[in-house]
Amino acid sequence: MGMQNIELVIFDCDGVLADSEVISARVLVEALEHHGLSVTMEHVFRNFVGQSFPKVADKIRRDFNLDLPGSFEQEYRARLVEEFAAGLTETVGVREMLRALGRRACVATSSSPQRVARTLALLELEPFFERVFTASEVARGKPAPDLFLLAAKSLKVHPDFCLVIEDSKAGLRAAEAAGMEVWRYTGGAHFSGFSAADVDTPPGIPTFDNWSAFYQMAPELKKDM
């Protein structure tokens, strides 16, 4: 299907709009160290990116047989808010891309409602999006298609006419399962130092690492300036 048929562009937030994954991973690594578990940043990137925090915490408990306290998520989120306020940035060039976008746009993220609201407010990106959808609104988060299907249904756009921009493999699988066109953005700092083989994008999914390439790939999506 040609890009001229796209009516809605659905953006993930962390690692796509916000260059936040390195901060999030570092805070998680430090929090786990406090509870006696040593994991690497690479382990976090490979195993947890794109998933909701409750799912991540459950996976850590199972994989490492670690009895994390009930307060772990609250403490992690509080620390993350501090770190975001001190050093969160948008991905390079995303604002210029959004200003030129000639299609409807929304956000669909595994982040909590509070976190994504804080992120978009800090970066002053809220005006670019009609709605923000979070994993808290569906029974199954990414890699299930539920979140993307909710966004399309709520905004009255058929999945065939949606383009998803994701960075994580969980998000890519979710978009494919929803029957949507999906591109992978690999320009976030958390991809630095990884080879194409390391990134391991599934076959057939277009990949780009610079927002200036977005309209080279789909000039039809750019509004008349």
- Report the pLDDT value the prediction gives residue 222, as an integer from 0 to 100: 96
Q: What is the pTM of this model?
A: 0.88
Tens digit of each residue's pLDDT (9 = 90 or more) over 76-116: 888 988 988 888 999 999 999 999 999 999 999 999 899 89
Q: What residue ranges of the chain are covered by domains with CATH 3.40.50.1000?
A: 3-19+89-221
Tens digit of each residue's pLDDT (9 = 90 or more) over 164-183: 999 999 999 999 999 999 99
pLDDT at 225 exceeding the cut of 60: no
> Can you read off the two tokens belonging to residue 29?
């690594």
- Report the pLDDT value the prediction gives residue 51, as an integer from 0 to 100: 79
Contact 206, 110 (CB under 8 A): no
- Report the pLDDT value the prediction gives residue 73, as an integer from 0 to 100: 86
Asked if 12 is an active-site residue, the reply is: yes
- CATH (one of 3.20.20.140, 1.20.990.10, 3.40.50.10580, 3.40.50.1000) for 3-19+89-221: 3.40.50.1000
Contact 125, 96 (CB under 8 A): no
Catalytic residue, chosen from 14, 19, 146, 167, is 14
Confidence of residue 1 (pLDDT cuts 50, 70, 90): low
- Report the pLDDT value the prediction gives residue 50, as an integer from 0 to 100: 75
Return the closest-CA partner of residue 167 out of 133, 192, 201.
Answer: 201
What would the DSSP string read from start to end of the chain?
--GGG--EEEE-SBTTTB--HHHHHHHHHHHHHHTT----HHHHHHHTTTS-HHHHHHHHHHHHT----TTHHHHHHHHHHHHHHHH--BPTTHHHHHHHB-SEEEEEESS-HHHHHHHHHHHT-GGG-S-EEEGGGSSS-TTSSHHHHHHHHHTT--GGGEEEEE-SHHHHHHHHHTT-EEEEE--SGGGTT--HHHH-PPTT--EES-GGGHHHH-GGGBPP-
- CATH (one of 3.40.50.300, 1.10.150.240, 1.10.3720.10, 3.30.70.260) for 21-87: 1.10.150.240
Asked if 19 is an active-site residue, the reply is: no
Q: What residue ranges of the chain are covered by domains with CATH 1.10.150.240?
A: 21-87
